[in-house]
Structure 1
Amino acid sequence: MAQLSDDCFAFGGPMMSVDEAIGIIAARVAAVREVETVALEAADGRILARDVSAPLPLPPFTNSAVDGYAVRSRDLPTGAEAAFPVTGRIQAGTSAAEAIQPGHAMRIFTGAPMPEGADTVFMQEDVRLDEAGRVVLPAGLKRGANVRPAGEDIAIGITALKAGQRLRPQDVALLAAFGLTEIDVTRRIRVAVFSTGNELVSPGDRRKPAQLFDSNRLMLMAMLDRLGCAVSDLGILRDDRAALAQGLRQVAGSHDLLLTTGGVSTGEEDHVKNAVESAGSLVLWRMAIKPGRPVAMGIIAGTPLIGLPGNPVASFVTFVHVVRPTVLALAGASQQKLIPMSVRAAFSYRKKIGRREYVRATLRRAADGALEAMKFPREGAGLLSSLVDTDGLVELGEGITNVEPGQTVGFLAYANLGSG
């Protein structure tokens, strides 16, 4: 379990940028050290614990890239087509019984190893057979055509995958091509999630007229699950300073991260702030981001705590820019910069300079084929429908003050935000 100092998240400035926040997290959060071995079929989404060097070349032997006829390059026709006797047939998974003879061709299929002496393959679509059963090969083919040399993809011994990578299906395929059946990964980050407030009840419980069903907690748990975390649901903690402080101390020792939504601000009814300060230390970050507001960063018994805003859209956006990099840092993963896709704005918008803003938008295909982003028609960080009925977020940087229709903007799809 990584242990952090109480002043780990201290920040002296009045307002920090999103990039500053991510930089502080990446530099000051200590990665967990525990490693576990998992079967390859369970490796997707896990963080690679050690570099993987290629134990064999890929492909492991020189083979044909097509169905056709293998020949020696010194026999290639130059001025006109030529007929070659066909001796032998090599299917994928078998090897030629003998070397190719000068002036001869061998029938070969995709993936089959090249016979000794042959280094070029004619595609079967480019040749014909004459009455004597010889294959007629056209002139002009270059030496080495349609052949995949051993190690063409990956040479033996090179670093194929680096520690800190979040494994994807294609990475799993590469490990399987090496013949591996298991891999060392960082153990899952253990995150305890809870909501706060007497105004909340869990879905399925009886709701009083002045209460709301808790939606943020379930959203955050789903996003953590997509990041590969082991999530503990602590439910809703009521507004009692002493009970909150005691509960936080109890779970801190068995988790790598504590995550709360709502109740951590400067209001007189935001009791979690006082409870966290009683159990550990707390810093309220003022981030130059919209939607969003101060995010609580703290340490309880060496375990980091993050308090997100209570409004669902603000909670979603700050999760992406605070919780996601924290989880990656704890797992020892490389920070994966979110790269917006360029699209065309189909809306007008005004914003303050010096603040990064995220506009909820839907994509559509314009008449000229270009992708356009349409802004959700209503504002408000409490509108869950604005997340449900849109495709992602238009990112407007700190230096932008206005957007006009036709302007190129950056778009972050939800599919890339929730999964890391």
Structure 2
Amino acid sequence: MTTSNELSASNPLPVETARALIRRAIAPVTTIERVALRTALGRVLAEDVESPIDVPAHDNAAMDGYAFDGSTLSVASAVQVKPGPLTLAVAGEARAGHPFDRVCPAGECVRIMTGAPMPAGCDTVVPQEFVARSGESIAFDVDRIERGANCRRAGEDLARGQAALAAGRILRAADLGLLASLGVAEVGVRRRLRVAFFSTGDELRSVGEPLESGCVYDSNRYTLYAMLMRMGVEAIDLGVVRDEPEALETALRAAADSADVVLTSGGVSVGDADFTARMTQTFGDVAFWQLAMRPGRPLAFGRLWPGERGGNAHSALFFGLPGNPVAVMVTFYQLVREALNAMSGADTAPPLRFAAESSAPIRKRPGRTEFLRGVATRDAAGKWRVTPTRSQGSGVLSSMSEANCFIVLAHEQGDIAAGAPVEIMPFDGLI
């Protein structure tokens, strides 16, 4: 997997090349679990689901009104020069769970409520607001209704044997409701992806610990944990690891042994104290560790073995993320998230992107992809505009809280003038 060009700090990989390398290294988890419907939210469906029944199971009323034989409409129209009121006797009533249990006689109708089964002999519902009722009969203008109106047909939503949900779908609330409507009590899902993560750095302190001079609180583990939780994976927090070769090797091997994917933050640049990239070359393969990307240039990707390199059947994908908090989030959403979805067996669409007008000039050097934080708004005419946040430093985590989108500047793109179009990627549904 490792090549001298790809590991060269002077030859960082374009983002799209890195994405292609990551895709080629991915093998989805194959273990299938059967889980109760109520616990399936956010899980990846492992098998196609076919409808075992018609949905709805019977013809039913789409609104409150009166059900009748719609052929009566054409008969009434044929005998009148100008269509006028049609009078029908009311034969009874049908409610959801309490159907009209006999055939509706010709020239009569049945009072019916929304969702109630259509009585035998009826195929049309006239809304109650179209009707004038007098005693046990109704009258309405025939030109206000067409045959078949306001009747939901059996199997109109799903027919028996029709595909309801496809394998690879991440199950959402509507999907659980759909499965419940089919009488499905449990489903086969792929097992959760196991992702181990830790931060590296002698200067890091965990929340709740005293903060000595020269130290900082570790925010990266909290953002990583939150991002992983949103994806529904099994997150394994291994804490903070010291900048020492022995400690890093122990942590990396243990992480590779317990997880499908290992994420670290910090320790992948070219500094003297950055051991992670070098350590992975002794019991792993490293595809790249420099990207033509801002923020997020120092990002290592490869594979780790718990034992000797290639000597154990089990291995884990490895992402060595930068240490700066914003760079951690940007690289996760632009590279890691797609990989985790694919490894989970999920069939997902790329994140939404669309054009917006930049409200300010943006300086951009061609030759790298940049992901700025922006605040997108829609003006009175419906046009989207985006303003970069006040600070774009990779250590300014507040800029991610302030923003609602990424401004995506392509690899070969140069400076952007105020008023020029740019591509934005909304946080909604992503973060």
Task: Tell me the TM-score normalized by structure 1.
Answer: 0.92
Seen in structure 2, the aligned counterparts of structure 1 residues 375 and 86 have a Cα distance that, compared at 3 Å, is: same
Instruction: Give the C-alpha shift of residue 50 in structure 1.
Output: 0.9
Aligned length: 411
In the TM superposition, 1:142-221 aligns within 5 A as: 142-221=146-225
SS in 2 for 1:381: coil
Q: What residue is the counterpart of 1:25 in the other structure?
A: 22
Instruction: Give the C-alpha shift of residue 128 in structure 1.
Output: 1.1
Task: Tell me if structure 2 keeps the 8 A contact 1:26–1:335.
Answer: no
Q: What residue is the counterpart of 1:397 in the other structure?
A: 410
Q: What residue is the counterpart of 1:104 in the other structure?
A: 108
1:139 partner letter: V
Structure 2 residue 264 is the aligned partner of structure 1 residue 260: yes
Q: What residue is the counterpart of 1:69 in the other structure?
A: 66
Instruction: Give the C-alpha shift of residue 352 in structure 1.
Output: 2.8
Equivalents in 2 of 1:168, 1:19: separation in Å? 30
Equivalents in 2 of 1:103, 1:344: separation in Å? 64
Seen in structure 2, the aligned counterparts of structure 1 residues 296 and 145 have a Cα distance that, compared at 3 Å, is: same
5+ residue gaps, structure 2, are 78-82, 306-314
Equivalents in 2 of 1:406, 1:106: separation in Å? 63
Over aligned residues, Cα RMSD in angstroms?
A: 2.1
Equivalents in 2 of 1:114, 1:369: separation in Å? 45
Equivalents in 1 of 2:170, 2:406: separation in Å? 23
Instruction: Give the C-alpha shift of residue 212 in structure 1.
Output: 0.9
Seen in structure 2, the aligned counterparts of structure 1 residues 20 and 51 have a Cα distance that, compared at 3 Å, is: farther
Equivalents in 2 of 1:16, 1:56: separation in Å? 52
5+ residue gaps, structure 1, are 1-5
Q: What residue is the counterpart of 1:251 in the other structure?
A: 255
Deviating more after overlay: 108-117 vs 23-32: 23-32
SS in 1 for 2:429: helix
* CA displacement, residues 136-190 of structure 1 (integer Å, 9 cap, x when unaligned): 1212222111111111112221221111111111111111111112111111111
Instruction: Give the C-alpha shift of residue 15 in structure 1.
Output: 4.3
Q: What residue is the counterpart of 2:429 in the other structure?
A: 416
Task: Tell me if structure 1 keeps the 8 A contact 2:284–2:302.
Answer: yes
Instruction: Give the C-alpha shift of residue 247 in structure 1.
Output: 2.5
Seen in structure 2, the aligned counterparts of structure 1 residues 20 and 127 have a Cα distance that, compared at 3 Å, is: farther
Q: What residue is the counterpart of 1:320 in the other structure?
A: 333
2:339 partner letter: T
In the TM superposition, 1:114-133 aligns within 5 A as: 114-130=118-134, 132-133=135-136
Deviating more after overlay: 367-376 vs 197-206: 367-376
Equivalents in 2 of 1:99, 1:17: separation in Å? 71
Equivalents in 1 of 2:234, 2:259: separation in Å? 9
Structure 2 residue 352 is the aligned partner of structure 1 residue 339: yes
Equivalents in 1 of 2:214, 2:363: separation in Å? 35
Task: Tell me the TM-score normalized by structure 2.
Answer: 0.90
Equivalents in 1 of 2:218, 2:391: separation in Å? 22
Q: What residue is the counterpart of 2:138 in the other structure?
A: 135
Seen in structure 2, the aligned counterparts of structure 1 residues 298 and 369 have a Cα distance that, compared at 3 Å, is: closer
Percent pairwise identity: 38
Task: Tell me if structure 1 keeps the 8 A contact 2:7–2:289.
Answer: no
* CA displacement, residues 100-140 of structure 1 (integer Å, 9 cap, x when unaligned): 1111111111101111111111111111113x431112122
